[in-house]
Amino acid sequence: MSTATDTVSSIAPARRATIERTTSESSIRLCLNLDGTGESAISTGVPFYDHMLTALSRHSLIDLEVEAHGDIDVDVHHTVEDTAICFGEALRQALGNKAGIRRFGEATVPLDEALARAVVDISGRPYLIHKGEPVGQEFHLIGGHFTGSMTRHAFEAIAYHSGICLHIDLIRGRDPHHIVEAQFKALARALRAAVEPDPRVSGIPSTKGSL
Ligand SMILES: [Mn+2]
């Protein structure tokens, strides 16, 4: 029978984080709640990236607030990369010691003709494998402002700064917008599974005892 004390002690600390990061190229405030409902308020000054981060939040059920001001008059590069760095850092902080999580997540997501797969291991060891985009995807200016090459760069920043192992494969796709969005949605669904508490896991899900 559980007592009031047991109930209180069994409540895990809130899995939230707030990151504030300012450089000569960008100023970013990002708040994230792993146990959210997919609510977001995103403003990066890069409309297509706002669309991708909104999809990332909605389909991961990670609540996400982003207010980014960057030198997008130069190029979207710094703002996109730095926001991804903040997302990765927030993910790492919010996960804490990673006790009780599923750790692994995998999702294959279609968007019309595009199909993308993401596989995540919350391993504590940053790694990215990103394959399958058609030749020339990196040169598309999606929405007239989002360079296709930034898709991989954002995934790199997320993986390296959160300390997760991330494999993303574009299985097929033709439309540049669909190709990026399918990958962000696959990442979202894989992350949703990987960061989710697993009631059968006690402690840190690693034979090493730490992640
Ligand atoms: Mn860069």
Alpha carbon of 206 to ligand 1 centroid (Å): 33
Q: Is 22 helix (H, G, I), strand (E, B) or coil?
A: strand
User: Which pLDDT band, with edges at 50, 70 and 90, does 12 fall under?
Assistant: low
Alpha carbon of 156 to ligand 1 centroid (Å): 10
Alpha carbon of 146 to ligand 1 centroid (Å): 14
User: Which pLDDT band, with edges at 50, 70 and 90, does 189 fall under?
Assistant: very high
Task: Give the list of residues 6+ apart from residue 4 with CB closer than 8 angstroms, or none.
Answer: none
Alpha carbon of 81 to ligand 1 centroid (Å): 6
Condensed to tens digits (0 to 9), the pLDDT of residues 25-80 reads 999 999 999 999 999 999 999 999 999 999 999 999 999 999 999 999 999 999 99
Condensed to tens digits (0 to 9), the pLDDT of residues 76-115 reads 999 999 999 999 999 999 999 999 999 999 999 999 999 9
Report the pLDDT value the prediction gives residue 153, as an integer from 0 to 100: 98
Q: What percent of the chain has pLDDT over 90?
A: 91
Alpha carbon of 138 to ligand 1 centroid (Å): 14
Residue 10 has pLDDT above 70, yes or no: no
Q: Which of 180, 69, 166 is nearest to 119 (CA)?
A: 166
Alpha carbon of 80 to ligand 1 centroid (Å): 9
Residue 136 has pLDDT above 70, yes or no: yes
- Dihedral angle of Cα 138, 25, 43, 160, to the nearest 10 degrees: 60
Report the pLDDT value the prediction gives residue 14, as an integer from 0 to 100: 92
Alpha carbon of 175 to ligand 1 centroid (Å): 24
Alpha carbon of 106 to ligand 1 centroid (Å): 27
Would you state the structure tokens that stand for residue 153, as one six-digit string?
A: 């760069």
Mean pLDDT of the chain: 94
Report the pLDDT value the prediction gives residue 110, as an integer from 0 to 100: 98
Condensed to tens digits (0 to 9), the pLDDT of residues 123-133 reads 999 999 999 99
Alpha carbon of 78 to ligand 1 centroid (Å): 6
Model confidence pTM above 0.75: yes
User: Which pLDDT band, with edges at 50, 70 and 90, does 7 fall under?
Assistant: very low
All structural domains of the chain: 5-195 (3.30.230.40)
**pLDDT mean over 168-188:** 98
Report the pLDDT value the prediction gives residue 147, as an integer from 0 to 100: 97
Alpha carbon of 77 to ligand 1 centroid (Å): 6
Beta-ladder partners of 63 = 33
Helix ranges (DSSP H) in 136-197: 149-162, 176-195
Alpha carbon of 210 to ligand 1 centroid (Å): 31
